[in-house]
Chains A and B, each alone.
Chain A
Amino acid sequence: MSGNPTAGVNREDLRALIAEELELPTEEVTDEANLKTDLAVDSLTAMEVAVQLEKKYRIKIDEEEIKSLTTLATIHRLVSAKVETAR
């Protein structure tokens, strides 16, 4: 898989992971839904999402970066960038 640019982070996989952590139906996790204001995510739940992202994508997320996990779209960009650098 490495080196294949199309084998990047699948957005639907991410959506499923976030929905599972938030215990929400996947359709509620739209690309632009704000985790904090629309989906009622608090800092602890955001931490749970971060830990699962780290585990699944074998990346490292800094504590400061948790605040930037605002929408599926931004999470997708952050995770993709980290997975890319890790290659």
Chain B
Amino acid sequence: MSSGQDNAPTPSVPRGGAAPGEWGGEWEVVIGVEVHVQPKTLTKMFCGCGVAPLNAPPNTHVCEVCLGLPGVLPVPNRAAVEACLKTALALNCEIPRHTKFDRKNYMYPDLPKGYQISQYDLPMSINGFLEVGTRKVRIRRVHLEEDTGKLIHAGDKLHRAWESFVDLNRAGVPLMEIVSEPDLRSADEARDYAMELRTLLRTIGASEADMEKGQLRAEPNISIRRAGADELGVKTELKNINSFRALHRAILYEVDRQRQVVESGGAVVQETRGWSEAEQRTFSQRSKEFAEDYRYFPEPDLPPLELDRAWVEELRAALPELPSVRRARLLEQLPATHVAIIGADRELADLYETAVARGAPPASTANWIVNEVAPSGKLLSPESLAELMKLMHDGSVTRDQAREAYLEAVETGRTPAEIVAEHGYAQVSDESELRVIAEAVIDANPQAATDYRAGKKQAMQALMADLRKRAPQANPRVASELLLRLLA
């Protein structure tokens, strides 16, 4: 079992032996994750409405279909089906020949039709897996459904609100639901799983998977059991998690809460719990004792989907190299710390590999991407990066100059070579030019020169410092060689 590396005041994961109560041994944590992902589509799941940007004014991306007006009918979005299939294939799922949509019935003001179109017993795909570190996490299913609208309450929650407002911009936005088996054993693993999923989704172009924009929502279900036990404990499901960090913390908190409940002689209640980011704790939302009966039945407005096998195979063949494979390849050239960053982001990995293919030196390019590109998020073309890396490698520019040229290239779109030339960044490597300066430095620092000649090698530093002050563009390697020769 692992504990988190967060430095915030979150409770520690229980460790064996220390806890009071009847069970003095290790607790095993069992986690499954249900992830909702918004596939990259121009329009909603069942109508022609555009998918609204995050801060669009309420109810501006709606039509009679997603408003659930009487007499309208859903028509499935092919792009969403395609994204779901690609995701399923990348997760090594089986794609059954027959799949269908079902209605999940419940009434709530954010659900215009009184039912959500989802998939129940014949999902688009089943039985896949995703490798996360050394663990193979089984994927139970990936299916397609539609999102609900959003409620804004003036006052308290729905039942006590003074006034409630309904925004249906999100109603009908496509969602893929990716359900894992309870194969994860720690908060770290659950977070890594979600992050790996994000990398995968971005790599195959199925989703932008931005958690902060609500394009990826992870809902872990968590239980604990005595280490070595076969039966699963009673689980709770966590909602309202808006970042990978929150996912990690919420799980740590919940595991500790469950341990305390059990160790003080209580029993964990099966329920849905919300994560409060402000209070850094989970709270009870809905007990399963009052679970709704969703009365699933086949959606009669949509004929069953008979997925064309040729299409599925076409999609399979067109999948790009998956992150796990690419990472293995990168590990042959680069240290693991660099691969962890470059291999987690398709754009960075593409940038690295293309720049290297254009002649950029691998080690310094990887270093540059990890230290300059990844933190700033500022991408430049692989051609420009290769050019810049070569300039730095052959000593034409200093690292500081390279950084300035990089930022300017990103901003203006001009090539690094142009920028370097224009700013006169290019280092002075010409010996005849440098000789004048070097001689002046030796003349101005007689003591240091004498010291060096007497065998005090560190005196060279003072000479070089003065040289750099006089000629910042001097190529340091050429300049120091020149000084050595003059002093010899």
Same complex origin of A and B = no
Residues of B within 8 A of A (CB): none
